[in-house]
């Protein structure tokens, strides 16, 4: 048995989450429902505009949210990332460790600023993100811990790394190591903007194919170059041996390598969809690493992501994760 169920590589971002209106987004000139990269000055200006809004702070990043979900369900994860030698960097690493995650905290930390993500949640529960990567944009092969990667069931990474040359190369190298060691590979397309503007880079990261691909409907169709779901499904088979297409209130489609399985959504009143895809990926990966079938893993993932969207933030409490898990025992 390997030590880790999941070895993940991703951005280290301290999330700062605000509730806003659609009019706020229009006034600020921000595209709704996607992630936009900004520089530090732009982000500080944005935060100044939101100074009278309450906000929540927590360690984030797409792959980090997923690996923490795995930990909360009882698995063991490792997360390679890059933070600065600043207060937010110390906060981030302490939060990861408190969540039961092993990490490359032994690496020397550079001067600079740890990445931040301003998350803007509108009344329709949609999330819009303005991300300043900080030193996370310099994530590289130096942050990889090959021994931990080789001692894992899955290597998992996020499409957000495509925006940085060094981070993209690190993800490609980690996938090469995983392939050589016979470790399964999983990849999330992360955001429609990543597909719209960095499709070639994503294809480079996927390489000859991954074992498991996660995408929402917009990302999947963008990757396939089609607005037809059937055509999209067939196109994704060329990129991944198995895949999941999440569809929000319509549930999810899971391709297990042979059959396409429809997983119904759990009806809830959504408050905030931040991290829903991350939670789905973490719960689904947990199920697979426990030897579950794809349908059962998908049902766990839908239940967990449904619980997540009923409150603000990209995570739920560990005891809530365990309560959900007991329903599938």
Render 76-143 in DSSP notation, one character per residue: -EEEE---BSSHHHHHHHHHHHHTT-EE-TTSPPBSS--EEEEEEE-TTS-EEEEEE-GGGGG--GGG
Task: Give the C-alpha separation, 286 to 75, whole Å.
Answer: 7
Full pLDDT tens readout for the chain, 329 residues: 899 999 999 999 998 889 899 998 998 889 999 889 999 999 989 989 888 888 888 888 999 999 999 999 999 999 999 999 999 999 999 989 998 999 997 667 888 999 999 999 999 988 899 999 999 999 999 999 999 999 999 999 999 999 999 999 999 999 999 999 999 999 999 999 999 999 999 999 999 999 999 999 999 999 999 999 999 999 999 999 999 999 999 999 999 999 999 999 999 998 888 889 999 999 999 999 999 999 999 999 999 999 999 988 788 999 999 999 999 97
| Burial environment of residue 25 by CB neighbours within 10 A (0 to 12, 13 to 18, 19 or more) | middle
CA distances from 316 to 46, 68, 190 (A): 27, 10, 20
**Alpha carbon 30 to chain centroid distance?**
22
| Burial environment of residue 224 by CB neighbours within 10 A (0 to 12, 13 to 18, 19 or more) | buried
Which residue, among 135, 160, 131, has the nearest Cα to 43 in the 3D structure?
131
Contact (CB, 8 A) for 6 and 281: no
CA distances from 186 to 161, 207, 214, 317 (A): 14, 12, 8, 25
CA distances from 164 to 64, 222, 225, 287 (A): 17, 21, 24, 31
Q: Domain ranges in the chain?
A: 4-326
Q: Are strands 115-121 and 127-132 parallel, antiparallel or unpaired?
A: antiparallel
CATH of domain 4-326: 3.40.1190.20
| pTM recorded for the entire structure | 0.92
Q: Is 58 helix (H, G, I), strand (E, B) or coil?
A: strand
């Amino acid at each position: 048995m390997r030590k880790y169920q999941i070895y993940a590589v991703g951005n280290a971002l301290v999330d700062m989450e605000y509730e806003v209106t659609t009019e706020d987004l229009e006034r600020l000139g921000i595209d709704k429902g996607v992630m936009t990269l900004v520089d530090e000055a732009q982000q500080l200006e944005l935060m100044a505009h939101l100074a009278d809004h309450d906000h929540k702070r927590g360690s984030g990043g797409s792959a980090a949210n997923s690996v923490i979900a795995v930990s909360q369900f009882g698995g063991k994860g490792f997360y390679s990332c890059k933070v600065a030698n600043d207060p937010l960097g110390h906060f981030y690493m302490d939060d990861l460790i408190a969540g039961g995650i092993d990490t490359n905290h032994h690496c020397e930390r550079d001067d600079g600023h740890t990445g931040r993500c301003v998350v803007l949640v509108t009344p329709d529960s949609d999330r819009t993100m303005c991300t300043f990567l900080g030193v996370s944009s310099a994530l590289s092969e130096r942050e990889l811990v090959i021994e931990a990667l080789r001692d894992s069931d899955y290597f998992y990474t996020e499409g957000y790394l495509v925006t940085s040359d060094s981070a993209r190369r690190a993800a490609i190298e980690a996938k090469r190591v995983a392939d050589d060691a016979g470790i399964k590979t999983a990849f999330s397309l992360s955001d429609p903007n990543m597909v719209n503007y960095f499709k070639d880079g994503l294809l480079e990261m996927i390489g000859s194919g991954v074992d498991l691909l996660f995408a929402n409907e917009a990302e999947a169709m963008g990757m396939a170059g089609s607005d037809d779901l059937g055509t999209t499904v067939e196109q994704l088979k060329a990129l991944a041996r198995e895949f999941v297409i999440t569809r929000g209130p319509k549930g999810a489609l899971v391709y297990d390598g042979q059959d396409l399985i429809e997983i119904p959504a759990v009806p809830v009143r959504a408050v905030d969809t931040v991290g829903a895809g991350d939670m789905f990926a973490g719960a689904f990966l947990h199920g697979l690493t426990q030897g579950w079938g794809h349908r059962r893993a998908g049902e766990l993932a839908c239940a967990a992501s449904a619980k997540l969207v009923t409150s603000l933030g990209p995570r739920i409490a560990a005891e809530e994760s365990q309560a959900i898990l007991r329903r599938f025992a």
